[in-house]
Chain A
Amino acid sequence: MRFSPGLLCCLFLLCLGAAAGQEGQERTVRRDENLPASNPYTSAADVAKGHQYFLGHCAQCHGPEGEGGRGVNLTTGRYRHGGSDRELFLTVRRGVPGTEMPGTHLSQEEVWRIIAYVRRLGQAGAEEKAAGDAQAGRLLYEGKGGCPACHAVNGRGGTLGPDLTQIGLRRALRFLRESLVDPGASIAPEYRAATVVTLQGSTIRGVVLNQDDYSIQLRDLGGELRSFLKNEVREVQIQKESLMPSYRAAFSETELNDLVAYLNSLRGEP
């Protein structure tokens, strides 16, 4: 299956511009020294402006309506890294270390307006409840789906695909479903696939671990680490599609729901 990796979960806003370097962080810390406890920018105009910023900086991962995707669903009104205005502000400002969510250099006013919009999204109080049966999904995961061959949960399973131990914390339901039926729709850079054809004509497929102009390093489908000089092979092809097969045809609608429910239930320690 295709999900992005990450050691810790990322529960809140993703994609707010470039991550701050150390110097930048010092600058932003100084800028945020006298941060008020509550959001001073909450008017309808602020919310509207915040919506625009959100579309530009956050929606790519959290969805245009905050419904979640690669990033978590923001319409539930629950925030893992703290729900006070000040905590929300700092989460957006600093990002979540160890996850895909970066910090931002946006001005205080702009961050506050985003918070105002996020609050509005959270008022929906939506429940992200999976329709399927997680227990049945677990059986599918371990049996018919053959997922542990490539993915690990709580240390058990393969390493060709991302670790799924906390995937239920990090991904919205719709993204989980999309990953099952259309794995190529969003491939994390760490899990790009490549095919190498040797001069003798044999083909090696695997996940790209590293490459430069002269060589490429793969984890092949058997889990072995492989390195090739590009001038010693016939072809190196970086694939657009995922190594993970689509389960659109393999699973019924009910089975897909069950599997999504199981994945959504994975919220353990890494």
Chain B
Amino acid sequence: MCGVLLATGAVWGEDSVPYTRLLRADQEPGNWLMYSGNYRGYRYSALDQIDAGNVGRLRLQWIYQMKTTHHVETTPLVVDGILYATRPPNDVVAIDTRTGRTFWTYHHPVPEDVHACCGQVNRGLAILDGRLFMSTVDARLIALDARSGRLLWEAVQADYRAGYAGTAAPLAVKDKVIAGIAGGEYGIRGFVDACDAATGRRVWRFYTIPGPDDPHFGTWEGDSWKTGGGSTWTTGSFDPELNLIYWGTGNPGPDWNDEHRAGDNLFTDSMVALDADTGKLKWYFQYTPHDTHDWDATQVPVLADLMFAGRQRKLLLHPNRNGFYYVFDRRTGEYLLSRPYVRQTWAKGIDARGRPIPLPNTSPTEAGVPVWPGSDGGLNWFSPSYNPKTGLLYVPVREKGEIYFKVEAVYRPGMSFGGGGGKENPADPGHGVILAMRPQTGEILWRHRMQTAPWSGVLSTAGGLVFGSTMEGQFFALDARTGNDLWHFPANDVSFANPISYLSHGRQQVAIAIGDVLMAFGLD
């Protein structure tokens, strides 16, 4: 697998966006060069033209209509005035940020028999040396010439007919493209791939479920590891100094029926720290051993260097889907802290080594068991934002429980292998919250309540703003220090995306996809 299907060709503009620009992404806030804005997973913009004093005058500048019935989960990239966005399932468009007019469109043909568990979605692109990279729902990683949209190579990662799918934005690191895989509800065996950016040739693969030759093998009952899930469907982060890539892994399979997978089920629901050159495991931490609630640890890891308990440390911040917020030393993986950030009813607490102490009668049953948080977790794939100016972590939160049930699970390649699910709890319709959190302690400084539990991320800016959107399609700006609601725009459709900010002809814009429309806002 990972065979390269197309010979690579010369790229015009190969000198544009070299790795050195990605390393210094913070120093060019006029661009948005990778999924989270920088390698640290901040989703923060150092632009401050739009601030608390003038955000009330924010106006729609242009829209791009995707004309799709799929969820639009894309985070665009912006390079020197050109915005690159994915349009589901796997088209790519290059758009002029001043007018919203397209320069080119690339269409990736998707086979009719693709089964992606949660829709044929795509969350974005990576760019390096004039090449754009996209994972596809038929489990390929492809490279396009950023100036022309021409296909340069495509590498097959896995067999989509067995439930493998690519939905996350890849991460370009040095001369490689790092790409995860989705399919945790289909009995896949998850991995993280690194492919050569110029040719698509696979350089390394890290299996999130260790095989028999691995010292970590043996945490699964029988052969259950072979269909154990551990997908990697959200973009990770990277620390160039430590040369480590941090990537969250997904649930064990079957998600809700654990009858035949006794054990901790490593490395599902974990954070793995991988050597960027070799893919070798440096450390791991499993948040939810032997998970029965579908609590993938696929939230964006935030890498911040902060004072912690009296000394400066390189931290990894992670509001996990299981309802707890975690802090680690990212050099060693040392567990430092955890604290619930949403209502949780499944754990008595977390022990000194970070292992949860589950409460009895919280695993799914045939009749159903109410547990908080729900299967979709406190935070899901959508992004938090760390703002170095306020020193706060902003987290879009789902305050919602579910009734967990289980059914029989039989593995058939390419067929759903969940073994249950989470149902709405009529006693708790849930709601959403934007939290402002002190990252060193998990202390919550303010809360902005939303009617409905969200599916979209937040962006914070040097202008003292937090942008986000609601399930009803209100795109809003909050005061980053107080949480006060300063502005909103009624886009009036469901929102499944993260905002970004950049400069267009020297003027700050904020863009987000709501419904099937990508929209850009700016000051007149």
Contacts and interface: CB of A to CB of B under 8 A. Distances in A.
Contacts of B9: 152, 154-157
B27 interface: no
A141 to B, nearest CB: 16
Contacts of A210: 101-103
Interface in B102-157: 102-104, 145, 147-148, 150, 152
Contact of A217 (B13, B102, B148, B150): B102
Most chain B beta-carbon contacts within 10 A, residue among A163, A211, A225:
A225
21 contacts: A155-B6, A155-B9, A156-B10, A157-B10, A163-B150, A212-B101, A214-B99, A215-B101, A217-B99, A217-B103, A219-B103, A219-B147, A223-B12, A223-B13, A224-B13, A225-B82, A225-B104, A225-B147, A227-B81, A227-B101, A227-B103
Contacts of B145: 159
Interface in B1-54: 6-10, 12-13
A215 B101 CA distance: 8
Indicate the size class of the contact surface on chain B: 20 to 34
B172 interface: no
Given A154-B9, A159-B12, A219 B148 contact: yes
B96 interface: yes
Contact of B99 (A209, A215, A224): A215
Contacts of A215: 96, 98-99, 101
A212 B62 CA distance: 14
B79 to A, nearest CB: 10
Contacts, number: 63
Nearest first, the 9 A-B pairs at minimum CB distance are A155-B9, A159-B148, A227-B96, A223-B12, A215-B99, A225-B103, A156-B9, A210-B101, A209-B103
Nearest to B9: A155
Interface string B57-80: 000000000000000000000000
A6 interface: no
A245 interface: no
Contacts of B13: 223-224
Given A215-B96, A215-B101, A227-B96, A158 B7 contact: no
B94 interface: yes
Given A212-B101, A219-B148, A229-B99, 5 more contacts: A209-B104, A219-B103, A223-B13, A227-B96, A227-B98
A154 B7 contact: yes
B109 to A, nearest CB: 9
B380 to A, nearest CB: 35
A237 to B, nearest CB: 19
A131 to B, nearest CB: 30
Chain A interface, >50% SS class: strand
Contacts of A214: 99
Given A155-B7, A163-B150, A229 B101 contact: no
A27 B315 CA distance: 62
Contacts of B8: 155
A223 B101 CA distance: 18
A206 B19 CA distance: 29
Interface in A203-245: 209-212, 214-215, 217, 219, 223-225, 227, 229
Contacts of B148: 159, 219, 223
A158 B82 CA distance: 20
Contacts of B147: 159, 219, 223-225
A58 to B, nearest CB: 27
A212 B99 CA distance: 10
B201 to A, nearest CB: 15
Contacts of B12: 158-159, 223
Contacts of A217: 96, 99, 101-103
Interface in A21-41: none
A229 B104 contact: no
Interface in A183-217: 209-212, 214-215, 217
Contacts of A227: 81, 96, 98-99, 101, 103
Contact of A155 (B96, B101, B152): B152
Contacts of A223: 12-13, 147-148
Contacts of A155: 6-10, 150, 152
